[in-house]
Structure 1
Amino acid sequence: MVIASGRSNRHVGALADHLLQALKESGHAHAKVEGLQAADWVLIDAGDVVVHLFRPEVRSFYDLEKMWGGAPETAA
């Protein structure tokens, strides 16, 4: 699972579009996507990897990292 943030709805949407294009080019064109229209929280299920892209306020509200306490964090 990958959790990342964008600075705004437009940024989250652009990150999701870029990721979906990269997945398509690498042969994973059938990734499932939820939330792209609003772009507050976009979920991309690429099979073995699930990506959550959030606006900062939405990320702090849902606090998914809490569910995975003890998992290492990495800065991008």
Structure 2
Amino acid sequence: MIRRLWNWFWSPTSRYAWGGIFIVGGVAGIIFWGGFNTFMEYTNTLQFCVSCHEMRDTPYAEYKKTVHFKNASGVRAI
């Protein structure tokens, strides 16, 4: 049984099939990773954060008065 699986795995058609699976899986992983990072960057913006109806009215006005919004280095905490 193991010998038959071993021979099947190393036969030429299987080798190309496994290679294709690994290549397609690698490309799909890279595309997923890029899409995920792009989405994370988009949701990490101040405009996205303030777009919520709960954040727009009171919390954003209070946030603009804190040290997290305006500080000496110019870096904002989002």
Name the TM-score class by shorter chain: under 0.3
* TM-score computed with the length of structure 2 as normaliser: 0.27
Point out the structure with the larger strand share: 1
Larger radius of gyration: 2
* TM-score computed with the length of structure 1 as normaliser: 0.28
Bigger RCO (CA 8 Å, 6+ sep):
1
